[in-house]
Structure 1
Amino acid sequence: MTSDTPRMSGTPSTFSIGGDYRVSRLGFGAMRLPTGPGSDRGTAIAVARRAVELGVTLIDTAHMYGWGANEELLAEALHPCPDDLLIATKAGITRSGPDGWAHDARPESLREQVEQSLHRLRIERVGLLQLHRIDPTVPLAEQIGSLHELQQEGKIGHIGLSEVTAEQLAEARQTADIASVQNRYNLLDREHEPVLQACEAADIAFLPWQPVAAAASGPAPAVHAVATELGATAPQAMLAWLLARSPVVLPIPGTSSLAHLEENLAAADLQLTESQRQRLDRTALPA
């Protein structure tokens, strides 16, 4: 491979989560969508619908996002969902005071939250249910076991984890099959590189959240340089790097702007050369 050979030309554009949900590798994170009344809500609904129109087949939400309001918004925008659309949600976090939250992955709490998500999303089964955080007060095997019971009952298709270590992932897999992991990860924040490597080895989907967050504070010169060469923005270059990083990586950039949505999704068409990828690989958080 020469230094100017496109890196992504042979990179798959889809990934099969759990072996049966084939989704486009660039998804959409719904967390930023405003859920209140008024014109902002109308825009949020338009953004969700436009994402699907543009080929997004994986949308990420959570019970914690607006304490159910985000799920309700997606149902309002997309119900009945297309057959190829996977809406992934999360459970295991409960409200604590007006602005706080707390872990709660007790079996009865997980069951209640899953039931609520089914009702709010207007579906009979959550295709991908992610444990939002591991509850330190409940044995991990008990938390995963509870989700596995719901899976056997047909209320969950696949089980995912969020913000876990490679060791926790391995422990969870002793109780049930794990289809995905969602950890914070981007070009400038690679703390969870060992988790990504574990996911790649096991063919588990890795959903990096905040995939371009570091761009807002000023990306490294190499990012600007590569973006200029591509005729793209810095966030687009960072998304292209994630897609080239591993075939199991499924970024879920979020936005409440139609223009920003289209900009993000256009990153799927970028092709990094080997030289560009290597230069971005060497980019790290500033000292």
Structure 2
Amino acid sequence: METKQLGKTGVSVSAIGLGAMPMSLSSRPPESESIDVIHRALDLGITFIDTADSYCKDESDKHHSERLIHQALQTYKGERDRVIIATKGGLMRPNGNWTRNGEPKHLEETIRISFEALGGEKPIDVWQYHAPDPNYTIEESLAPAKKAVDAGMIRFVGVSNFSVEQIKRARDIVDVVSVQNQYNPWYRQPEFDGVLEYCEQESLTFLPWSPFGGSRRHQGLADFPTIAKIAKEKGVSVYCIVLAWLRSKSPCILPIPGASKVSSIEDSVRAVDVILSNDEVQRIDRETAS
């Protein structure tokens, strides 16, 4: 598996990660199947898993994904010391909905529970503030993360759904190694709002969420002629082409495709070997922009 450095940390992670969200929402598969997915990802050389305290059915199920990943790692018979778990905090799941909560005391508490859910024996590898809450300043909401870093409960900090200005403010509080914003061929704002360029300049890892454009586009990727044609020419799936498109956009990008089936993560890993020409990238750009 190809690797790249996580931010400026000196820590190497796989060039493709595993997004854990599909294994914990209301449509999740049986636990045993999810553990098989995580084990297979590790077998394939994946060493970066992205999750969140809010990857669950609702508030009564909070931290489900973190506990699942910890269980999978504990039962894995192969090498697991190099696995980096990136979790998030700052979203709530009342009745299965998504709401923001950047209240400092809440974040301090959810960091503690995430630490325990992931085993409680070593610092959280990466803790990411999930989304800015307009009711609190960036400085107020990230103070608990800085406190947890100083206390040895968090190793590295990242941010999610942040603008360049917000990233800069966050970095005045705590060292930031990653940015996780929405990015795919149909939503290319990071190319135009300066976030992707800033991550490149500052050597921050960019983690694109919703890489396939959401469930509707995910199911209809084969209906895009250019993507389907390039996939056929290269003998790979349309999903591999989209992941290769993301990787072609910047060396700081680390795709984290979600998976709830072994076959899905096996397919995603193949994208590491897919190289798109500038012409192919531009053709995809033109098709998805229309």
Task: Using structure 1 for the length normalisation, give the TM-score.
Answer: 0.88
Q: Which has the higher contact order (CA 8 A, sep 6+)?
A: 1
Q: Match for 2:64: what amino acid? A: A
Q: Match for 1:204: what amino acid? A: L
Q: Is 1:70 equivalent to 2:65 in the alignment? A: yes
How far is the alpha carbon of 1:168 from its aligned partner?
1.4
Q: Is 1:217 equivalent to 2:214 in the alignment? A: no
Q: Is 1:120 equivalent to 2:126 in the alignment? A: no
SS in 2 for 1:181: strand
How far is the alpha carbon of 1:35 from its aligned partner?
7.5
How far is the alpha carbon of 1:39 from its aligned partner?
7.4
- In structure 2, relative to structure 1, the CA distance for the partners of 1:39 and 1:174 (3 Å cut) is closer
**1:192 maps to which of 190, 193, 207:** 190
Which residue pairs with 2:74 in the alignment? 79
Which residue pairs with 1:262 in the alignment? 266
Query: How does 1:239-278 map onto structure 2 within 5 Å?
Result: 239-278=243-282
Q: Match for 1:53: what amino acid? A: D
Q: Match for 1:109: what amino acid? A: H
Rounded Cα–Cα distance in structure 1 between residues aligned with 2:105 and 2:74:
28
Whether contact under 8 Å (2:3, 2:12) holds in the other structure is no
Question: Where does structure 2 lack aligned partners over 5 or more consecutive residues?
Answer: 57-61
Whether contact under 8 Å (1:35, 1:69) holds in the other structure is no
> Which deviates more, 58-67 or 207-216?
207-216
Question: Where does structure 1 lack aligned partners over 5 or more consecutive residues?
Answer: 1-11
SS in 2 for 1:150: helix
Between Structure 1 and Structure 2, which shows a larger proportion of helix residues?
2
Rounded Cα–Cα distance in structure 1 between residues aligned with 2:234 and 2:163:
34
Rounded Cα–Cα distance in structure 2 between residues aligned with 1:190 and 1:86:
27
SS in 1 for 2:126: strand
Instruction: Report the number of matched residues.
Output: 273
Query: How does 1:92-131 map onto structure 2 within 5 Å?
Result: 92-96=90-94, 98-123=95-120, 124-131=122-129
SS in 2 for 1:42: helix
Which residue pairs with 1:90 in the alignment? 88
Which residue pairs with 1:157 in the alignment? 155
SS in 2 for 1:134: coil
Rounded Cα–Cα distance in structure 2 between residues aligned with 1:29 and 1:251:
9
Whether contact under 8 Å (1:180, 1:207) holds in the other structure is yes
Rounded Cα–Cα distance in structure 2 between residues aligned with 1:42 and 1:215:
25
**1:280 maps to which of 278, 281, 284:** 284
CA RMSD, Structure 1 to Structure 2 (Å): 2.1
Whether contact under 8 Å (2:6, 2:204) holds in the other structure is no
> Which deviates more, 76-85 or 54-63?
76-85
Whether contact under 8 Å (1:64, 1:94) holds in the other structure is yes
How far is the alpha carbon of 1:95 from its aligned partner?
3.7
